[in-house]
Structure 1
Amino acid sequence: MFTITCGLILTSITLNAQKRDSGTIELIPNIGYSRSFLSGDEVDGLDSRDALQFGVIGDYYFNDRWSIRSGLSYFSMGASVSGSELQPVLGSELRLDLQLGYLNIPINANWHFGSMRKWNLNFGVTPGFLLKGDINGQDVKDFYKSFQLAISYGIGYKIEVSDSFSILIDGQGLFGVTNILKDSDDFTIKNTGNSINVGGIFSF
């Protein structure tokens, strides 16, 4: 009986430690592998583009179920295309790589679920500010708008190491809703991307 009682007490303490109180703040530096592509007009033949993304996310808890998630992240988007898709004489060995680097500021509602709140599902919007635009090193930033807006969403799982530190593994998606082309009434092109990330959660 004593063993059972101790086990129940320890389980209760563990469960409570893994849930967050109102006012808890989590700081999450993270890095991940991203894949992006362009959608819209005249994008047939374009391939996806792979890159690294990194940033710092903050989570402010209203209760043990809900928090607001925001922060700063650098997300490299764009697309790539084989030279032969543009001109057969260029050959498939030549690849043109469009790199659009954005500073993103996600603003997502974050729902924590599961008996120990290890899972989270987040959704919201992400404004993005263009920092870099080039094709194989040649600057083309002036052809693209400096701002984009995307719908953002994701799911994650938390691995608790201690009361104040955990590891987060998550997948995030971005679905652009604004045209990224500047001075273009004839064509609409939008960014779409997703990433798989790992981060360290510091709780305060």
Structure 2
Amino acid sequence: MKKTLFIALLASFAANAQVREKGEIEIAPFIGISSANYYGDVGVFNQAVQNPYFGINADYFLNNRWSIKTGLEYQAMGSQGQDFGFYSSTFKEKINFVSVPLHANYHFSKNRRWYLNFGPTVSFLTDATSNGKDMKQGINPVQLGLGFGIGYKIYINERFSIGIDHQEYIGFANNLKSQYNNNDLFIGNYFGSFSVKAIFKLGSKIENE
């Protein structure tokens, strides 16, 4: 009987240990794969491009359900396909950004294993190429969009979890600078990803006082 009670207490502690409280912080480096494409005034033959996706996120907990998510993320946008203009040719464009999310993150389920994040993401252009040729001067260097996603945490211990994460992003800005856009086209970015996170709890303000 005592052994059964002891096991039950341990199970209860394990279930509640990953529920974060106000002031606690989680840091999560991640790596994954992404798929991106253009939307707007684009051809029907545009296809998505796949690229690595990596970075680091941080969550500051406001209470046991809500946190503020931010971080630095490498996001490769772009498109590829066939251009049937004056003459037919293939193309592959790659637009690389370092992105900063500022998202509300809602943690749910009994043990807060699931989380749902959403909010603005600001992206800073690092380079852009079309068939390997530089086109950075024609791309807007700072872009704003909406990011959202969902994830699940696999509890390992009080200080460490593994996260399985899916994120999406839709850009509000036109890729093309106005001075290079004589036809008044709108070409925006769409991005989706799957990644694995190593989630580390840093501690809480309460514990440090």
TM-score normalised by structure 2 residue count: 0.90
Once residues 137 and 102 of structure 2 are traced to their aligned partners in structure 1, the CA distance between those partners, rounded to angstroms, is 27
Distance 2:175 2:43 in 1: 13
Contact 2:14 2:157 in 1 (8 A): no
Correspondence for 1:130 among 117, 125, 129: 125
**Aligned Cα root-mean-square deviation (Å):** 1.6
Q: Label 1:102 to 1:10 Cα distance change in 2 as closer, same or farther (>3 A).
A: same
1:144 paired with 2:142, answer no
Looking at structure 2, the residues matched to 180 and 135 of structure 1 have their Cα atoms a distance apart, in angstroms, of: 13
Report the CA distance between 1:15 and its aligned residue.
2.0
Tell me the alpha carbon deviations over residues 102-141 of structure 1, each in whole angstroms, 9 at most, x when there is no partner: 1100111001111111110000010101111001221001
Higher mean displacement: 176-185 or 188-197: 176-185
Other-structure match for 2:2: 2
Distance 1:87 1:169, change over 3 A: farther
Please report the TM-score for the alignment, with normalisation by the length of structure 1: 0.92
Pairing of 1:1-204 with structure 2 (within 5 A): 1-82=1-82, 85-86=84-85, 90=89, 95-183=90-178, 184=181, 186-204=184-202
Shift of residue 87, structure 1, vs aligned partner: 6.0
Moved more, 6-15 or 96-105: 6-15
Cα offset for 1:17? 0.7
Give distance in 2, aligned partners of 1:18 and 1:44: 47
Alpha carbons of 1:58 and 1:89: their partners in 2 closer, same or farther (altered >3 Å)? closer
- Contact 2:78 2:95 survives alignment (8 Å): yes
Number of aligned pairs? Answer: 199
Q: Secondary structure at the match of 1:161?
A: strand
C-alpha distance in structure 1 between counterparts of 2:93 and 2:8, whole Å: 57
Give the distance between the partners of 2:33 and 2:86, measured in 1 at CA.
31
Determine helix, strand or coil for the equivalent of 2:103. Answer: strand
Per the alignment, do residues 180 and 5 of structure 1 end up closer, same or farther by CA in structure 2, a change over 3 Å counting? same
Unpaired segments of 5 or more residues in structure 1? none
